[in-house]
Amino acid sequence: MRPMDPSRIEGLRLVIEVAATLAFALSGLLEAARRKLDAVGACVVAFLAAFGGGTLRDLLLDQRPFFWVRHVEYVWAVLVLSVLAMIVLRARHLALTERAILIPDALGLGLFAAAGTDMALGLGHPPLIAVLMGVVTGVFGGVLRDVVCNEIPNAFRDHRPYAVVAFIGGWLYVGLERLAVGADWALVITVVAIAAVRLLALARQWTLPRWRV
Amino acid sequence: MRPMDPSRIEGLRLVIEVAATLAFALSGLLEAARRKLDAVGACVVAFLAAFGGGTLRDLLLDQRPFFWVRHVEYVWAVLVLSVLAMIVLRARHLALTERAILIPDALGLGLFAAAGTDMALGLGHPPLIAVLMGVVTGVFGGVLRDVVCNEIPNAFRDHRPYAVVAFIGGWLYVGLERLAVGADWALVITVVAIAAVRLLALARQWTLPRWRV
Amino acid sequence: MRPMDPSRIEGLRLVIEVAATLAFALSGLLEAARRKLDAVGACVVAFLAAFGGGTLRDLLLDQRPFFWVRHVEYVWAVLVLSVLAMIVLRARHLALTERAILIPDALGLGLFAAAGTDMALGLGHPPLIAVLMGVVTGVFGGVLRDVVCNEIPNAFRDHRPYAVVAFIGGWLYVGLERLAVGADWALVITVVAIAAVRLLALARQWTLPRWRV
C-alpha cells in the first residue's frame, strides 16, 4: 500500500495515546473512588492503570527507559487529573464517566496491543511472545489496578471479550507485518479492528464461554 | 562420583520439567475454576502458576530471555491445556485433579529449587541468595496465582512444609556442589530429597509451628 | 556549608538504615501475626516489607545487584528477627510493637526517600521521576506486604500523610541538591524534615482530603 503521510499518522497516534492514557487513568480513579482510597491511593491506582501495562512489558522485554520516564509530561498529566477528579467527581458522575471512557479505552486497547506486539517483533521475539506482549501492554494496567484494590481483576472474570480481542488483534498485526503492508497501515488497521470488535462485543453483549464446573 | 550418562539425565530432566510445568498450570486452572474466572483469567492464572516463579527469579537475577521465551512450545502447551480444562473439567474432577498433581508438583518443586539455586550460584551470588532464588523459582508461581485470585497465598498460611522443604533442599544442593559431587548428581539427589520430604510431610500431615498470638 | 565528617555521617546513616530495616520487617511480622500466616509467610512478608521498596526501585531503575544481595547480612537479620518474633510475640505485644516502630519507621521513610531520590538523580532522571523513585523506595515495601496479605495497602487508604510526606521531602532533596549544599547535608536535612513532619502528622492526627463521592 501507499505509505501514509508521516506527520498525519504521528499526530493521530499521539491523539489516541493521550486520550487512551487519560481514559486508563480515569478507570483507576473510578475504582479508587468506589473503594474509598485516599488521595495517595487514587494517584497510585491512576498511575498503575495508565502506565502499568507498558511498564510490565518493558520490564519483561528489558527495555529502558520506560515510556513515562521519557515522557514525564504524562506523569504530570495523570497527577493533575487525579487531583481534579478528587475535587470534581461526585457519585452521580461515576456511571457517566464509566460510559465516557469506553471509546478511548477501546482505542487504547488497540493502540497499546499493536505497539506492544510491534516492539517485541522488532526485538526478534517469536510471534506468540510478541502477541502476548501486546496483550500485557493493553490489559495489565487494569490488572494491577484491580490487584492493588484487592479485587480479582475485572479482565479475568467479567466474561467480556477484552484481552481476547487484543490477542486476536495481535495476530492480525503479525499477519499484516508479514504481508509487508507497512508499519503505519498495519498499526491503523489493527487499532481500528481491535476497537471496533471491542465496542461491538460490548454493544451486542457477547460473552466468553463459561466453566461448566 | 562417576558422571552420569548426559543424554539420560537430560531426558529425565525434560520429563520432570514438562510434568511439573503442566502440574503447576493445572493448579492454576483448578484455582481459576473455583473462583469462576473466565477463559482469559484461566489462561493467565495457569500461565502465572507455571512460569511465574522462574520469571520472577530471572527478573531478580537479570537473566534474559526468559525460559518461556526460549521455549515457546511450553506457552502453547499451557494455552492448549487451559482450553482443554475449560471443556473437560467438571466439579467432580476437582478433588481428583488436585490429588493427581501432588507428585509432579513435588518433583517440580525439587527441580525448580535446584535449578534456581544452581543458576544463582553460577552467577556468583552468596549461598543464602542462591537458596532463596531456588525457593522463589519453586514457590512464587503459586504465590502470584493466589494473589491474582485475591487470596492470601496458600504457601504462606497452610502450615504445610513446602517453601521450607525447598529452602532446606537448596542448602543440600549448595553442600553437594561444595563437595564437588558433580552438577548432575547434585541435581538428582536434591530433586529426590525435596520431593521425598514434601510427599512424606503430606502423608504424615506435618505442620509448621504456629503463632501463639 | 562545611562538609560533614564522613565517618560520622556514614555511621549515622548505618544506624538509621539498620533500625529502619528492622522496623519495616517488624511491620510485616505484625501483619503476618494478625493474618495468622505460617512461619514461611511471616518470613516472606517481613522480607517484602523490609526490602520490597528498594528492590522495586532497583528493578525500575535497572540497578543490580540489589541492596540485600550486596548486604546479605540484612537477610540473615530479617530471618532471625522473624524466628524470634514467632517465639516471643504475644497478642499483648502487638499494640506495643506498633508504637515502638513509629520512630524508626519515620526515620526510615526519610532515609529511603532521600536515598531513592538521590540514586535516580545520579542516573540523570528528571526531578519528578527521581522524587517518585524516592516514594517507591520508602512506601512500596509496605504496599507489597499488604497486597500479599490480601488487603488494600494501608498507605493508600488510611488518609494519614505518609507517601505524601516522602513526596514533598523528595522535592526538598532536589532543591537542596540544586543549591549545592552537599550530598551529606541534603541527606541529613531531608531525613530530619520527613521524619519530623511524619511524626507531627501522627501526633496531630492530620488527615488527607477525602473523596466527596
Interface list for A 173-202 with C (CB within 8 A): none
d(CA C169, CA B26): 47
Contact across the interface for C148 and B151, Cβ inside 8 Å: no
In a domain, C209, yes or no: no
The distance of Cα A167 from the centroid of its chain, to the nearest Å, equals: 13
Contact B174, B197 (CB under 8 A): no
Tell me which chains share at least 3 CB pairs under 8 Å with chain B.
A, C
Task: Domain count for chain C, please give it.
Answer: 1
- CB of B190 closer than 8 Å to CB of B110: yes
User: Chain A contacts of C128, Cβ < 8 Å?
Assistant: 72, 75-76
Cβ contact C72–B129 (<8 Å) = yes
CB contact under 8 A, C152 and A59: no
Residue B153 pLDDT: 97
Q: In the prediction, which pLDDT does C129 show? A: 97
pLDDT above 70 as % of chain A: 98
On the question of pLDDT at C18 being above 70, the answer is yes
Average pLDDT, chain A: 93
Chain C residues whose CB is inside 8 A of the B212 CB are 90
DSSP tag of C35: T
Cβ within 8 Å, pair A39-C209: yes
Q: Which of C34, C41, C147 comes nearest B147 by C-beta?
A: C147
Mean pLDDT over A129-156 rounds to 97
> How distant is the alpha carbon of residue B137 from its chain centre?
6
Chain B: nearest CA to A160, how far in angstroms?
9
Residue C44: band (very low, low, confident or very high) from pLDDT cuts 50, 70, 90: very high
Question: The domain containing residue A169 runs over which residues?
Answer: 6-204
**Per-residue pLDDT band at A8 (split at 50, 70, 90):** confident
pLDDT the model gives residue C5: 76
Q: How many CB pairs under 8 A join A and B?
A: 74
Condensed to tens digits (0 to 9), the pLDDT of residues A150-162 reads: 999 999 999 999 9
Q: CB of A163 within 8 Å of any CB in chain B?
A: yes
Sign of CA dihedral C15, C17, C23, C25: negative
Q: What is the pLDDT of residue B1?
A: 62
pLDDT for A146 equals: 97
Q: Does C92 touch chain B (CB under 8 A)?
A: no
Distance CA C157, CA C70 (A): 34
Q: Give domain status of residue C213, yes or no.
A: no
At B40 the pLDDT is 95
Q: Flag whether B212 is in a domain.
A: no
What pLDDT is attached to residue C6?
73
Chain B closest-CA separation from residue C160 CA (Å):
25
Give the C-alpha distances (Å, rounded to integers) separating C40 from A69, B129, B165.
Answer: 36, 16, 11
Average pLDDT, stretch A107-136? Answer: 96
Residue of A nearest to C212 (CA): A90
C93 lies in some domain: yes
Q: Which of B68, B67, B57, A63 is nearest to C62 (CA)?
A: A63
Q: Is residue B158 part of a domain?
A: yes
User: Is residue C212 in some structural domain?
Assistant: no
Q: Residue C213 is nearest to which of A38, A41, A91, comparing CB atoms?
A: A91
Q: Which residues from chain A sit within 8 angstroms of residue B147, using beta carbons?
A: 147
Check CB contact of B83 with chain A, cutoff 8 Å: no
Q: Enter the C-alpha cell of residue A192.
A: 481500528
**B84: nearest CA partner in chain A:** A211
Instruction: Give me the residue from C126, C163, C211 closest to A40, CB to CB.
Output: C163
Q: Which residues of A touch B41 (CB under 8 A)?
A: 152-153, 155-157
Residue-wise pLDDT for B114-136, tens only, equals 999 999 999 999 999 999 999 99
Q: Which of C38, C45, C65 sits opposite B159 (nearest CB)?
A: C38
* Ramachandran assignment for B40, one of left (phi > 0), alpha (psi -120 to 50 degrees), beta (any other): alpha
Closest partner residue to C39 (CB to CB) among B143, B147, B208 is B208
Q: Looking at residue C2, what is its pLDDT?
A: 65
CA atoms within 13 A on the CB side of A83: 5
Angle, vertex CA C143, rays to CA C137 and CA C146, nearest 5: 150
Closest chain C residue to the Cα of B151, Cα to Cα: C150
Contact A209 B45 (CB under 8 A): no
pLDDT (0 to 100) of residue B8: 80
Q: How far is B52 from chain A (nearest CA, A)?
A: 12
Is residue C176 very low, low, confident or very high in pLDDT (cuts 50, 70, 90)? very high
Find the closest chain B residue to A163 by CA distance: B40
Task: Tell me how far apart the alpha carbons of residues B15 and A57 are, in angstroms, rounded to a whole number.
Answer: 31
Is A212 part of the contact surface with chain B (CB cutoff 8 Å)?
yes
For residues A4-8, average pLDDT: 75
Q: What is the structure's pLDDT at A91? A: 81
Using a pLDDT cut of 90, give the percent of chain C over it: 82
Which of A35, A68, A75 is nearest residue C152 as measured by Cβ atoms? Answer: A35
Q: Is the pLDDT of residue A2 over 70?
A: no
Residues C213, A94: C-beta atoms closer than 8 Å: yes
**Residue B165 within any structural domain of the chain:** yes
Answer yes or no: do A86 and C132 touch at CB < 8 A. no
Q: Does residue A212 belong to any structural domain of this protein?
A: no
Q: What was the pLDDT predicted at C60?
A: 96
Q: What's residue C1's pLDDT? A: 62
Interface ipTM: 0.92
- Determine what percent of chain C is predicted with pLDDT higher than 70: 98
Q: Is B84 on the interface with A (CB under 8 A)?
A: no
Three-state SS for A99? Answer: helix
Report the C-alpha gap between B91 and B89 in whole angstroms: 7
CB contact under 8 Å between C40 and B156, yes or no, is yes
- Per-residue pLDDT for A3 more than 80? no
Within 8 A of A55 by CB-CB distance, chain C residues are 60
Q: In the predicted model, is pLDDT for residue C35 greater than 80?
A: yes
pLDDT: which is higher, A197 or B94: A197
From CA B145, how far away is CA B27, in angstroms rounded? 9
Concatenate the DSSP letters of all residues of C131-193 into one string. HHHHHHHHHHHHHHHHHHTTS--GGGTS--SSHHHHHHHHHHHHHHHHTT--HHHHHHHHHHH
Mean pLDDT of all residues belonging to chain C: 93
B64 in contact with chain C, both atoms CB, cutoff 8 A: no
Confidence (pLDDT) at C8? 80
pLDDT band at A1 (very low <50, low <70, confident <90, very high): low
Reading chain B (213 residues) residue by residue, the pLDDT tens digits are: 666 777 788 888 889 999 999 999 999 999 999 999 999 999 999 999 999 999 999 999 999 999 999 999 999 999 999 999 999 888 888 888 989 999 999 999 999 999 999 999 999 999 999 999 999 999 999 999 999 999 999 999 999 999 999 999 999 999 999 998 988 899 999 999 999 999 999 999 999 988 876
Distance CA C184, CA C190 (A): 10
What cell was used for A102? 469506553
Q: Rounded CA gap, A144 and A48, in Å?
A: 6
